[in-house]
């Protein structure tokens, strides 16, 4: 059952106002609210920083919210950038060889390669 209060799924008014200011969709929070968790100001800032990092290459609120480096995985059909931890989860022990062969992700630059 989704959590709710007078501010909706948000823990505080500041979190709700920041989400509204950046026009974040309620769908971005559906997983958290379905798990019975209120959305905090830090949750909103984390999402905004990741979106801004992908578009502009920098975080607005906290640089610790964005990964230090992402790389493109050439074997993945989605052509998305992944962190080193995601490479480790997918490839297991051989993740470093794939990591070093991959192209470095540069925010706001879309490169498609085969």
Confidence (pLDDT) at 107: 66
Q: Determine if the pTM surpasses 0.85.
A: no
**What is the distance between the alpha carbons of residues 49 and 64, in angstroms, rounded to a whole number?**
9
**What is the distance between the alpha carbons of residues 14 and 41, in angstroms, rounded to a whole number?**
7
Tell me what percent of the chain is helix, strand and coil, each rounded to the nearest 5: 50, 10, 45
More confident residue, 79 or 2: 79
More confident residue, 21 or 69: 21
Q: What does the pLDDT average to over 76-86? A: 77
109, 96, 87, 83: CA torsion to nearest 10? -40
Judge whether residue 1 has pLDDT over 80.
no
Q: Which 8-state DSSP code applies to residue 40?
A: P
The SS3 assignment for 10 reads: strand
**What is the distance between the alpha carbons of residues 63 and 96, in angstroms, rounded to a whole number?**
25
The SS3 assignment for 111 reads: coil
């Amino acid at each position: 059952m989704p959590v709710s209060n007078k501010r909706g799924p948000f823990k505080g008014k500041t979190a709700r106002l920041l989400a509204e200011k950046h026009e974040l969709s309620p769908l971005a929070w559906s997983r958290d609210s379905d798990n019975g968790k209120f959305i905090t100001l830090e949750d909103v800032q984390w999402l905004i920083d990741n979106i801004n990092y992908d578009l502009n290459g920098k975080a607005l609120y906290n640089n610790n919210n964005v990964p230090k480096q992402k790389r493109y995985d050439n074997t993945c059909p989605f052509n998305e950038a992944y962190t080193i931890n995601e490479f480790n989860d997918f490839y297991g022990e051989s993740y470093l060889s794939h990591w070093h062969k991959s192209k470095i992700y540069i925010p706001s630059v879309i490169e498609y390669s085969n």
